[in-house]
């Protein structure tokens, strides 16, 4: 039997970078223009785990507002523009332990990102925290027809990573690193072991994950998954 894991797949927002506050602000400003009030409690309780398309559909339906194709394009474009403005202003940072964790893994495992964020946002923030070189595959919101919390993106990421590395990768031998309970549940259901980090939700909400940590500090993760080939400085 091959040692576990054979690859590691990361979510992005709330796992690699502290970007959820940026997404929240961009959603608030965009929705205000359509007379929809989004509270911080509502955002963190209901929208974490959605991609932008799913989040807008959910919030417009919840507020009984029509979301015709023209309006849908307008809100998607507006929100993306606001996000990129904040990214250019460097209003984000890597979460605690992330740089050491990723750098401690990348020579030992193929690493990939599967995110509900847009590729432009992911690429810009990875460059900003000097980790772009560590990830050979990025699956962004626009790369899948159905976004998170559906597991399609993670399944596609495994396939692409298998092709790139020429290794037989399956959900069972890939570790997923997530912060959203809804995603931890759906990806666990299709066979991925999940390491959940409590950056967005408390541990008691992350029961579908196999392991739960309060940060990705290498020593913290190593205590939970001792077999991980992880360089600790």
pLDDT in tens, 197-207: 999 999 999 99
**pTM of the predicted protein model:** 0.89
**Whether residue 12 sits in one domain with residue 25:** no
Residue 91 has pLDDT above 90, yes or no: no
**Whether residue 136 sits in one domain with residue 76:** no
- Could you give the CA distance from residue 227 to residue 54 in angstroms, rounded to a whole number? 36
Residue 233 has pLDDT above 70, yes or no: no
Q: Across the chain, where does the E strand assignment appear?
A: 7-10, 111-114, 137-139, 174-178, 194-197, 211-213
In a domain, 1, yes or no: no
**Whether residue 204 sits in one domain with residue 100:** yes
- Asked if residue 132 lies in contact with residue 126, where contact means CB atoms within 8 angstroms, the answer is yes
Counting the structural domains of the chain, the total is 2
In a domain, 97, yes or no: yes
In a domain, 2, yes or no: no
Helix 52-62, helix 20-32: angle, nearest 10: 50
**Whether residue 65 sits in one domain with residue 108:** no
CATH number of the CATH domain containing 207: 3.40.50.1000
- How much is the pLDDT for 20? 87
Range of the domain at 142: 7-18+92-224
Question: Of 105, 106, 102, 54, which is closest to residue 79 (Cα–Cα)?
Answer: 54
């Amino acid at each position: 039997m091959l040692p576990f894991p054979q690859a590691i797949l990361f979510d992005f927002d709330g796992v690699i970078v502290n970007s959820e506050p940026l997404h929240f602000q961009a959603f608030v400003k965009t929705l205000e223009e359509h007379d929809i009030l989004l509270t911080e409690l509502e955002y963190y309780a209901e929208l974490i785990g959605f991609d932008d398309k799913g989040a807008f559909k959910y919030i417009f339906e919840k507020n009984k507002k029509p979301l015709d194709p023209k309006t849908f394009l307008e809100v998607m474009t507006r929100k993306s523009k606001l996000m990129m403005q904040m990214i250019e202003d460097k209003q984000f940072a890597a979460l605690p332990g992330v740089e050491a964790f990723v750098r401690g893994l990348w020579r030992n495992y193929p690493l990939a990102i599967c995110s509900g964020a847009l590729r432009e946002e992911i690429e810009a923030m990875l460059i900003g925290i000097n980790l772009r070189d560590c990830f050979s595959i990025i699956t962004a919101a626009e790369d899948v027809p159905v976004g998170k919390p559906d597991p399609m993106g993670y399944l596609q990421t495994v396939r692409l990573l298998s092709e790139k590395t020429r290794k037989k990768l399956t959900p069972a031998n890939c570790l997923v690193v997530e912060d959203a309970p809804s995603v931890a549940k759906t990806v666990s259901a299709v066979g991925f072991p999940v390491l959940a980090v409590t950056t967005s939700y408390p541990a008691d909400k992350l029961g579908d994950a196999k392991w739960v940590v309060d940060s990705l500090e290498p020593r913290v993760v190593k205590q939970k998954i001792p077999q991980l080939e992880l360089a600790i400085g």
